């Protein structure tokens, strides 16, 4: 994948940071590049990735092509200033910033039954001074299964449910893993970290690496994660929407919070271009503040229904790494938005009543 040159970064960040919703603007930037094969020597386009997601997960007009089932949340980020030593980003200065977010489950079906083993997502959109934004889309996995966009594309077919059983064909999966040792290694790491029983007790990680840039221009590789500060819980109900029902119940009782931790990598030692490889556990960790969620609602145009949680929407002081997944994610999110924006309106994948 083509790296964005150093001279392009400020212009791209300024253009994206000025967008409040991220629909048309992200389509015109990330989607334009990827769709025209400027990114990716293998001619893998955003359109082909989204086509594959639709072929495997089904097509549900008006909904995201992956992580279709979701709910909107809102709250604030209480920055303690701890990460300001690494970056000039306003989000890391001491103070509070409003945020919106979205909890979700992987897959294209917004009516799927909640499964504890499904990948859980948390997208956050931080509103920052001067009209800047920071968007991040995290999941509850310790590493990403695939090192490249091509591997992600190919794995979707290898793991597609068999029509006869509704589950992936074990022989096809075994053959795929045998031919993709990096994914096989990542799957072993994932298997060693079973999911917690609820959204509120999940650790969410931004698996791609980024660069933090300080006021002297020093660049430090980082990853980040959210660690729950909520007490241990088990699902309080049963049924198709058990995970989301429990989240609604928990937020009605009071705020939920997570510690945002910046993991400090070592340049030249920790990979910045491969999200399937974990960094050493002894790496320095800086607590940057607390994400506090106070409100939950059905997705609508007034909250996050039309927001792309594009990982390349960054404030000054944070720059993308050379991870090829970042460009692919940005472009695929834009293509998914383009398609659903032209379809009947999404009514909200999880209905939240009484709020």
DSSP-assigned beta bridge partners for residue 100? 74, 125
Q: What are phi and psi of 206, to 5 degrees?
A: -90, 100
Closest CA to 137 of 316, 289, 332, 298: 332
Helices 149-158/46-57 angle, 10° precision: 20
How far are the Cα atoms of 52, 123, 169, 253 from residue 58, in angstroms, in the given order? Answer: 10, 22, 18, 36
Alpha-carbon span 226 to 292, nearest angstrom: 11
Q: What Rg, from alpha-carbon coordinates, does the chain have?
A: 19
Please give the distance of CA 292 from its chain centroid, rounded to a whole number: 18
Q: Which residues contact 317 (CB under 8 A, 6 or more apart)?
A: 87, 88, 89, 90, 92, 212, 213, 214
Longest CA span, the chain: 60
Burial class (CB in 10 A: 0-12, 13-18, 19+), 341: middle
Q: What are phi and psi of 95, to 5 degrees?
A: 145, 175
Instruction: Tell me whether residue 97 is one of the annotated catalytic residues.
Output: no
Alpha-carbon span 250 to 287, nearest angstrom: 24
DSSP state of 27: I
Alpha-carbon span 303 to 100, nearest angstrom: 7
Closest CA to 25 of 131, 106, 103, 152: 131
Among candidate residues 67, 97, 171, 180, the one labeled active-site is 67
> Which tokens sit at 243?
């995970």
> Which tokens sit at 227?
């660690």
Please give the distance of CA 233 from its chain centroid, rounded to a whole number: 24
Catalytic (active-site) positions: 67
């Amino acid at each position: 994948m083509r790296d964005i040159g150093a001279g392009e970064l400020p212009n791209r960040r300024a253009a994206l940071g000025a967008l409040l919703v991220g629909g048309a603007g992200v389509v015109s930037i990330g989607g334009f590049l990827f769709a025209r094969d400027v990114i990716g020597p293998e001619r893998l386009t955003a359109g082909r990735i989204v086509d594959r997601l639709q072929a495997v997960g089904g097509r549900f007009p008006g909904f995201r092509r992956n992580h279709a089932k979701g709910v909107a949340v809102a709250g604030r980020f209480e920055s303690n200033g701890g990460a300001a030593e690494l970056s000039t980003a306003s989000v890391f200065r001491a103070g509070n910033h409003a945020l919106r977010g979205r909890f979700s489950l992987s897959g294209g079906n917004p009516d799927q039954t909640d499964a504890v083993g499904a990948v859980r997502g948390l997208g956050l959109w931080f509103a920052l001074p001067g009209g800047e934004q920071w968007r991040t889309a995290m999941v509850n996995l310790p590493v990403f299964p695939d090192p490249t966009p091509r591997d992600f594309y190919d794995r979707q077919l290898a793991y597609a449910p068999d029509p006869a059983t509704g589950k992936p064909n074990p022989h096809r999966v075994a053959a795929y893993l045998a031919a993709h040792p990096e994914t096989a290694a990542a799957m072993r790491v994932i298997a060693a970290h079973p999911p917690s029983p609820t959204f509120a007790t999940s650790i969410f990680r931004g698996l791609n690496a980024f660069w933090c840039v300080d006021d002297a221009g020093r660049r430090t590789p980082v990853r980040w994660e959210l660690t729950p500060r909520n007490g241990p819980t088990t699902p309080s109900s049963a049924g198709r929407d058990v995970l989301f029902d429990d989240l609604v119940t928990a937020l009605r009782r009071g705020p939920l919070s997570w510690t945002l931790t910046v993991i400090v990598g070592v340049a030249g030692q920790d990979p910045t271009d491969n999200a399937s490889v974990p960094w050493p556990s002894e790496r320095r960790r800086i607590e940057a503040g607390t994400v506090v969620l106070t409100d939950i609602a059905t997705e609508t145009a007034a909250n996050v229904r039309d927001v792309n949680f594009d990982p390349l929407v960054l404030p000054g002081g944070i720059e993308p790494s050379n991870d090829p997944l970042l460009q692919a994610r940005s472009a695929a999110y834009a293509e998914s938005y383009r398609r659903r924006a032209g379809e009947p309106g999404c009514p909200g994948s999880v209905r939240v009543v009484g709020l």
